[in-house]
Structure 1
């Protein structure tokens, strides 16, 4: 990369598998690089055995594969130190990171170390007449869209998962993977003793989500939603109210401050339809709402609505679908 030129995508991996958000960033990155008449490259940090060429197939001209056993664990400080050193050496003009749980934690640390700006959770990226990045993100619970520019380089942004289509795979693309050594080993002040999974399933990948809100009275009642979700081959999601009440972990949260999901079917059970929650699920293909309040805002966006007590309605759903043989 030339001085302050080019676009760099930080590819995310987990247990050797490249996260799909990396392919989405490459898709948008190709569009921006073409307009800028610039390069599109990737930095992948991870242990041995990752198929880094896949990033070439998805559009990266050069993939820098920084190998090291320390990268088998997603630990922000070690990643940050190495990424900052790489960026200082290569000097990309734009750096894109996926707004995953890890990306949201990692990106601000990188930006602070580089003393540059960062726009979080972008939903679109454009270029102005001078070729500077316009970072677009929702504000005021999706009621407005802010257009932000960074006056320093690199211009950094995190982009929401499932905002762009994945770059198409083309095995005819030139394979160019450059293996590089890590600049730093494990942080001497950090030791990962144990990794505890809060949720063994990425809710953003679910095709069916059964979500509960304030209408759920106690934690044990989530079992009812879990049974419905299991019947349909889906997963359980929750609104922020249940997370704040300690009834569910944040990995299952859907909404503006949680996960953005686009399942084929979304059940909103006891969810009123506050803008903060709707922002995370409004693009679901089919929305089915169950609420005892006929004036609940959720009914305004639902494809199908049922006014009633979810404690009576959901068990009937389960019985009916099992009777119909829908159970997976």
Structure 2
């Protein structure tokens, strides 16, 4: 998506002990600069800490993009608010540097939206664009600093669910169940099929 918009592309790597991640990001084709914010305040990606960092750095750019993942949806609304601009959500096509297409009405229609904001804050639906090559680039790596720990939230712990299935937001194939499944126990049938297809499992609102 960033390549289709045009211009130089900078990638932000924020976290703790993220030197290896920054080096990998610098090799991505099309990236001209990698900004590294290596600080304990960003270790667990708390949006109250990361969003001010993105907003501060974003003032120097025309576009701020993030994948429409849980983190992206957590960070960018805060970034847009801090920059006092509207956010454009889950684009699937870049028409021009200020015009984009995004699904509405649960994907039953496609809206074309145009932004006049000085900084365009955008989440990107990953399945709408081809993946870029992970090798071939040689971007410069630059250390940056940002706001200190905001102290508004604290990391307590995490539990990781292990699954070989792809994330629903990025899956190429989705096996979906609806009201006809009857109850949650019957979704085991879909899980078995999804595993054979390498697919994610979804559900209609009625099933949920």
Category of TM-score, reference length = shorter chain: 0.7 to 0.9
Alignment correspondent of 1:178: 142
Matched ranges for 1:1-328 at <5 A? 28-33=1-6, 38-49=7-18, 50-58=20-28, 59-88=30-59, 91-127=60-96, 132-171=97-136, 173-185=137-149, 187-197=150-160, 200=163, 202-204=166-168, 209-230=174-195, 235-243=200-208
Q: Distance in 2 between matches of 1:197 and 1:236?
A: 18
Moved more, 133-142 or 157-166: 133-142
1 CA distance for matches of 2:55 and 2:189? 47
Indicate conservation of the 8 Å contact 1:82/1:184, yes or no: no
- Structure showing greater relative contact order (alpha-carbon pairs closer than 8 Å, 6 or more residues apart): 2
User: What is the rounded CA distance, in whole Å, between the counterparts of 1:110 and 1:121 in structure 2?
Assistant: 15
Structure-2 change in CA distance of 1:232 and 1:32 (3 Å): closer
8 Å CA contact 2:166–2:200 kept in 1: the answer is no
Change over 3 Å in CA distance of 1:242–1:73 after alignment to 2: farther
RMSD between aligned residues? 2.5
The answer on whether the counterparts of 1:138 and 1:144 sit within 8 Å (CA) in structure 2 is yes
Task: Check conservation: 1:135, 1:157, Cα contact below 8 A.
Answer: no
Contact 1:96 1:156 in 2 (8 A): yes
Once superposed, which parts of structure 1, at least 4 consecutive aligned residues long, lie more than 6 Å away?
Answer: none
Residues 1:53 and 1:72: Cα distance change in structure 2 (over 3 Å): same
| TM-score in terms of structure 2 length | 0.83
* Secondary structure in 2 matching 1:51: helix
Deviation of the 1:105 alpha carbon: 2.1
Contact 1:138 1:145 (C-alpha < 8 Å) held by counterparts:
yes
Structure 1 distance, partners of 2:171, 2:111, is 29
Q: Name the SS for the 1:215 alignment partner.
A: helix
Go from structure 1 to structure 2 and tell me whether the alpha carbon gap of 1:182 and 1:119 turns closer, same or farther (over 3 Å shift): same
Larger Rg: 1
Q: CA deviation at 1:110?
A: 0.5
Q: Distance in 2 between matches of 1:113 and 1:124?
A: 26
- Whether contact under 8 Å (2:13, 2:21) holds in the other structure is no
* Offset of residue 140 of structure 1: 3.4
Q: CA offset at residue 53 of structure 1?
A: 2.9
Is the CA contact 1:122–1:159 (under 8 Å) kept in the aligned structure 2? Answer: yes
8 Å CA contact 1:98–1:159 kept in 2: the answer is yes
Q: CA deviation at 1:81?
A: 1.7
In structure 2, the CA distance between the partners of 1:231 and 1:94, relative to structure 1 (3 Å rule), is closer
TM-score normalised to structure 1 length: 0.55
